[in-house]
Structure 1
Amino acid sequence: MSQARRKSSQPQTVPLAQRLRWPLGLALGLALVIGGGFIAQQWLAEFEGPAFETLVIKGERRQLSPDHIRAQVKPALESGYFGADLSGLRQNLEAEPWVASVSVRRQWPSTLELTVREQVPVAIWNRQGFLNHSGDFFVPREIHEEPGFLPELNGPEGSESEVLDRYRDFQEQLDRIGLVAETVTLSERRAWQMGLMEGPTLYLGRQDGERRFTRFVSVAYPALKQAGRFQLDDLDYIDMRYTNGFSLAPKVASGASETEDAGNG
């Protein structure tokens, strides 16, 4: 065997420094990346960016004044473009009774934009606050603009959506005959009654309230109009808690209206 072949068959030895070169380089690279990321994070945490110079408030508002919103936003404006806590700002604004929802975003280099959706009251609840379209109860601290006519709804705690839905069903039928529900009440004993605007109270009882109300619209009211004996504003109440009829009382007999759960229930 030749000397050249004997030399090539022997294992080659790689110097230690060369074997460690790539692991050391990789470790050094990772250290630089991690260290650089940590430094960048520290730098961003300390650098709040340019101050906000412009506040843009979008959304239709009747009860929320721009000055009030600016006062709520002021701490975020002072924190700078990067340092502002937009999530905390949104939560603070949504805690305001008149605020339904808020979206917040930055616009480079110095603008903060708010889109505010204001609560829209559709009814008064238990003479304590308002209900919105979803039946959510809210109590504003101030009312800057009168909301106009709102029905007065009453009921036990937790029945807000149920009473609002029943009011809507009632009013849809009343629209056909040109009447307006001023109050709708669900008592603790689950009895329904309604007050007509410039008219009597309707007693509907605990059972079959919707059917009894439909009977008022389709039978009782047309009969009263045809008879011509009473105008609605002359009546104290109309009691629909009868199987095949109804009773009524003129305002001079108002004492009879105290017996809410009399009759068939």
Structure 2
Amino acid sequence: MSQARRRQSERQWQPPAWLLPVSGGLVLVAVITASALHWLPRLEGPAFETLVIKGERRQLTAEALRDRVRPALLPGYFAADLGALRESLEAEPWVASVSVRRQWPSTLELTVHEQVPVAVWNRSGFLNEAGEFFVPREIHRQPGFLPELSGPEGSEAEVLSAWRDMRRTLAVQELEIAELSLSDRRAWTVTLEAGPVVNLGRSDHEARFRRFVQIALPALQQARQLDFAALEYIDMRYTNGFSVARASEGRASDREDRGNG
């Protein structure tokens, strides 16, 4: 390398002398600040004075929510653990989800989404719209008419979906499903609000239900001598037909399976 280039390289920019002490000072300040966090007292802030509860509720009372929230607010505005409070509230069976937020200077706002039961499940609890099973500790208001669905553990969403499909189909006939059951052996039965039980069996239950709506119902409506409400059961497990029994004859129909079941 020529002497001219060497002298040019040596003249490359160097940081000014005043910058190094300042940089070191900045590092020192950062270290002192981080260390101070360990001994400074935790800032609790003002006390909560107002609780705002939003969301439509039928089963959750404002009093019960206030009682559950009050202990979590004692640490103060900044120190209150809102994450733990949200988890505590969502542990309540009637709570589907909840959001929690502070409003300066002394307000806590809850937005509560309550579980909406759409069906009774196995006569031991409810299903919500997503097919999730929950068991409330108490019921403050009767939820109104709900179908009774039943099935093996883990079949909640399947049975709920089948009920919705069947219900839409029967709505045209102005018929309502009172019960829909899936047995441990995968046999489907539908109990209509009007009375009779429709036996769909284990296989091709969707096709058999369509035959019930498209063939059996019109045939029964044309047979005026038959009182639909007085029928005990309608058996759709036949390949090319169906059978019916009046209430007095229906006790013999309790067998779940036939040769073509």
Tell me the TM-score normalized by structure 1.
Answer: 0.88
Partner-residue secondary structure (3-state), 1:141: coil
- In the TM superposition, residue 38 of structure 1 has moved relative to its aligned partner by 3.6
Q: CA deviation at 1:26?
A: 3.1
How does 1:53-68 map onto structure 2 within 5 Å?
Answer: 53-68=49-64
Structure 1 residue ranges, 4+ long, deviating more than 6 angstroms after superposition: none
More helix by share: 1
Q: CA offset at residue 39 of structure 1?
A: 2.4
Displacement of 1:75 in angstroms is: 1.8
**Cα deviation per residue 1:179-224 (whole Å; 9 max; x = unaligned)?**
0000000111111110001311000011111111111111111111
Aligned equivalent of 1:127? 123
Which of 10, 23, 28 is residue 25 of structure 2 equivalent to?
28
Q: Deviations over 1:154-200 (max 9, x none)?
A: 00000000000000111111101010000000111111110001311
Quote the residue 1:5 is aligned against: none
Counterpart of 2:77 (choices 81, 106, 110) is 81
Tell me, in whole angstroms, the C-alpha distance in 2 between the residues paired with 1:42 and 1:208: 71
Question: Greater CA radius of gyration, 1 or 2?
Answer: 1
**Match of 1:27, as an amino acid?**
G
| Counterpart residue identity of residue 35, structure 1 | I
Q: Secondary structure at the match of 2:249?
A: helix
> What CA distance in whole angstroms lies between the structure 2 residues aligned with 1:166 and 1:55?
42
CA apart distance, 1:253: 1.2
Relative to structure 1, the CA distance from residue 191 to residue 131 in structure 2 (aligned partners, 3 Å threshold; closer, same or farther) is: same
Aligned to 1:14: none
Find the residue that maps to 1:242 and give its secondary structure. Answer: coil
Alignment partner, residue 15 of structure 1 = none
Q: TM-score, normalised by structure 2?
A: 0.90
Supply the distance in 2 between the matched residues of 1:117 and 1:162 (Cα, whole angstroms).
24
Q: Which runs of 5+ in 1 are unaligned?
A: 1-17
Counterpart residue number, 2:105? 109
CA distance in 1, matches of 2:105, 2:38: 21
Q: Which residue of 2 aligns with 1:181?
A: 177
- Equivalent in 192, 196, 210 of residue 192 of structure 2: 196
**Structure 2 counterpart of 1:26, which letter?**
S
Deviates more, 1:114-123 or 1:189-198: 189-198
Q: Are the equivalent residues in 1 in contact too, given 2:127–2:133 (CA < 8 A)?
A: yes
2:175–2:194 CA contact under 8 A, matched in 1? no
Q: Distance in 1 between matches of 2:154 and 2:110?
A: 32
Question: CA offset at residue 233 of structure 1?
Answer: 1.6
Gaps of 5+ in 2: 1-15
Deviation at 1:41, TM superposition (A): 6.4
The equivalent residue for 2:36 is 39
Amino acid at match of 2:51: L
Are 2:86 and 1:98 equivalent residues in the alignment? no
Distance (Å, rounded) in 1 between the aligned partners of 2:20 and 2:135: 66
Is the Cα contact below 8 Å between 1:56 and 1:111 reproduced in 2?
yes
